[in-house]
Amino acid sequence: MNSNTNLHPNVKTLLFSENEIKERVQQIGREITKDYQGSKELVLIGILKGSFMFMSDLVRAIDLPDTLVTLDFMSISSYGASTTSSGVVKINMDLKEAIEGKDVIVVEDIVDSGLTLKHLLELLQSRKPKSLATSVLLRKKEGLKVEVPVKYIGFDIPMVFIIGYGLDFAERYRELPYLGELKEECYKH
Ligand code: XMP
Ligand code: MG
C-alpha cells in the first residue's frame, strides 16, 4: 500500500507501508545471514503475540543452509489493555526447548521503556545460551528507561501508539499488513 486511501478508519497516519516493512525485514535477514555464518545451531525466539508477523517474514529472509535453524516461542505480557508499561512481565508460555549452548536471537515487536526486553534477556541469559542477541522491529527511543542491547533494529519511531503488522491495541488490529498510528480517541477516554 503506497497511499493512505485504504487505511483502517481508526488509523491516524501510516508509519510504514507493507513494502517499506518488507524491504527493511529483508535487509535484517541478510545481516543475520552474514553474521551467523558458521553457527551450528541458531534458535529464533518469537515473543508472542506481537512478533508473529515479523518473525514469519524474518525467518524467510534468513538463508543459513549449513546451520540448524529452529524456531521457538514465548508469550509474555506487560500491558494488558493499557498503553503504558507496568514494568511487570508475566510469562504466560515458556519455550519448548532448552537454549543452552545455542545461538539465540530474540525477535520482538517493539521496545518502549525497554523493561520487558531487559527482564526477558536476564531470564534467557541465565539459561546459558552460546550467544544472545535481539532483533526488534520498532524502538521508541525517547521511551527508553533502561539500557537494553538491540542488535538488529527495524525502525526508530516517535512516542505514538502503533498498531498493525502484529501489533495490537486490546487485541485488535494485528491483522493489518502495515504499521500505523492509532487515533488518540481510540485509546484516550
Ligand atoms: P516496554 O515499555 O517494556 O514495552 O519496552 C514493550 C511492550 O509494550 C508493548 N508496546 C506496544 N504495543 N503498540 C503496541 O501494540 C505500541 O505502540 C506499543 N508500545 C509498547 C509491546 O507489547 C511491547 O512488547
Ligand atoms: Mg500488545
**Prediction ipTM score:** 0.93
Pocket of ligand 1 (CB under 6 A): 50, 78-79, 85, 109-117, 161-163, 167-168
What confidence score (pLDDT) does residue 127 get? 97
**CATH architecture of the domain with range 12-186:** 3-Layer(aba) Sandwich (3.40)
List residues bridging with 93 in a β-sheet: 75
CA-to-CA distance for 6 and 125, rounded, in angstroms?
A: 43
What's residue 3's pLDDT?
Answer: 53
User: What integer pLDDT is reported at residue 163 of this predicted model?
Assistant: 98
Residue 170 in grid coordinates? 486490546
Q: Is 70 exceeded by the pLDDT of residue 82?
A: no
Residue nearest to atom 2 of ligand 1 (CA): 113
What is the model's pLDDT at position 90?
Answer: 82
Give the closest residue to 60 by CA, choosing from 71, 50, 74.
71
Return mean pLDDT, the chain. 92
Q: What is the pLDDT confidence band of residue 77, given thresholds at 50, 70 and 90?
A: confident
- Average of pLDDT values for 113-140? 95
Catalytic residue among 57, 103, 109, 112: 112
* pLDDT tens string 10-58: 999 999 999 999 999 999 999 999 999 999 999 999 999 999 999 999 9
Residue extents of the structural domains in the chain: 12-186
Residue 59 CB partners (closer than 8 Å, separation 6+) = 44, 69, 71
